[in-house]
Chain A
Amino acid sequence: MTSVIRRRAPLRAALNPAWFALLPMALAAVVVYLGSFLWSLRISLTGSRSLPLHDYVGLAQYQRLFANDRWLHSLQNLAIYSPLYLAGCLALGFLLALLVDRQLRGGGALRAIFLYPYALSFIATGLIWQWLLNPELGIQQAVRAWGFPAFRFDWLVDQDHAIYAIVLATIWQGAGLVMAILLAGLRGIDPDILRAARVDGVPGWRVQTSIVIPMLGYAFATAALLLLTAAVKLYDAVVAMTQGGPGTASEVPAKFIMDHLFGRANLALASAGATVMAITVVALLAPLLYARGRAARVRA
């Protein structure tokens, strides 16, 4: 009996109707995701300008890329941006989550307010903060009008601080997301553990740092993963807030690639940048995803 089933199994697998249903997904995964990546990789090894060529120039584009000031500057900006964005969103999101979690009454309303910026587009976020940080119209002017004429808050037009202005705006947008994820995690903590800690006389901050935060590890990792992905993709907010300026002060890799693809007709260089980005992202995320998957399996 079992042998009959075993012999029939491959036949059924071959006719599995799921294959027809999964055809669009297979096309998307293989042609679009994998195919596009390989195509970018191939173009990055050519001397293509505005049209794709099929010559082979080795790693010359990568050498040009890493000799390009604008690219280096955008990498540097991303290196400043990502940790600050990540840390800011996680810290603020955690505090908001604690606040909402404590106040059971009215917690829903608070949560709604904190989460609302996340429903906004990066473009709208960027434009709102462009005005808030505009020295003549925004916060600086308002504080000066209240009687502090020496007050300075002009990050947006300051070469050295423009990228921090973008950090600020995107934290405002993203902290609500972290809050929502951590709130779900907080609800999963057994209240008896917290009660036991209180009975033992453990001070409140110690409960947070030694019990709550470690127990939220999985939720934190999830949030960090989403934020990191968003950080690498950073583009819309920069376009809306500074257009990469003043000068090239707030350039980011995603914008460098877009500009060289469509504005400056330098396909091969942009593709080299894109390939560097893709490989970095996969190299960073693959171990993270793997570790998280294992943690989830162990937990289950």
Chain B
Amino acid sequence: MSVTSLKSMDEIRLGQLFAWPSRLTLEAWRAAWRSACTGVACEGIRGGFWNSIAIVLPSTLIAIALGALNGYALAFWRARGASLLFGLLMLGAFIPVQVLMFPLVRLLGPLHLVGSLAGIVLVHVIFSMPIMTLIFRNHFAALPRELFLAARLDGGGFLRIFLQLMLPLAVPMLVVAAIMQATGVWNDYILGLVFAGREHLPMTVQLNNLVNTTTGAKLYNVDMAATLLTSLVPLAIYLLSGRWFVRGIAAGAMKG
């Protein structure tokens, strides 16, 4: 069914374009990129593209760094109460974000973090922390503990063992986590809508504004071009990563 849906979507899109032969050019794509109206501004969704890039890069890097550090600390350093905290964090992962949305706005508002790039990145890091911590904890817990103990005996400290021994051993997981996080952040809508603010709206929000704000005649071809443009980045990640994407799902599915 996925195949037929994909196919029929393409076929229908072609049918569409044949119905307006004058727009068979790349004009719609150009319009979607440059001049389509998303709410009040008519500058296309290119701004959203760059905003999304600006959000995805730091969100991915920081989330992975923290997740790896948490996973390492949880797997090897048996700190008292840490597993209780981890349990709390995992339970939090299942709570719908809408539940936490407004308290977080109130919490971050006075810190001037709502409606800023730093704010939206922080929120992404917080909401991805459970899954990132989980996959790294599982990864490190599967390594032989003797490896860690030997490094301790050789005088390795907390950070040194992490940076020089554990991180190199976690390279495959780092790749998997980067794919998951980048795709997830790119595809986010609700957090961007609430926390990014007017200046930093991600591409998904601009896309939805473009399509679902009905002022005047609907330009379906422009809408579709914009949708396809927005899907290009996940498509690129997906195609380039190939098998790694599947590994990401497998790693994320090992909850509990």
Contact = CB atoms under 8 A, between A and B. Distances in A.
Interface stretch (A56-64, A198-206, A207-215, A254-262): A254-262
Given A36-B99, A270-B102, A292-B256, A21 B92 contact: no
A121 B89 contact: no
Contacts, number: 250
Contact of A113 (B6, B76, B133, B245): B6
Given A123-B208, A225-B255, A293-B256, A22 B104 contact: no
A114 B2 CA distance: 6
B253 A226 contact: yes
Interface in B119-133: 126, 129, 133
B224 interface: yes
A44 to B, nearest CB: 11
B80 interface: yes
Interface string A167-199: 000001001110011011000000000000000
Given A21-B158, A24-B66, A122-B189, A281 B98 contact: no
Interface stretch (B36-44, B53-61, B170-178, B226-234): B226-234
A46 B234 CA distance: 43
B89 A233 contact: no
Given A180-B250, A184-B250, A278-B99, A139 B12 contact: yes
Interface in A1-26: 13, 16-19, 21-22, 24-26
Given A121-B187, A123-B230, A236-B189, A37 B98 contact: no
Given A25-B66, A116-B235, A123-B207, A17 B157 contact: yes
B82 interface: yes
A79 interface: no
Given A36-B104, A39-B103, A142-B8, A176 B204 contact: no
Contact of A25 (B129, B212, B235): B129
6 contacts: A26-B85, A33-B91, A172-B1, A229-B94, A281-B94, A289-B255
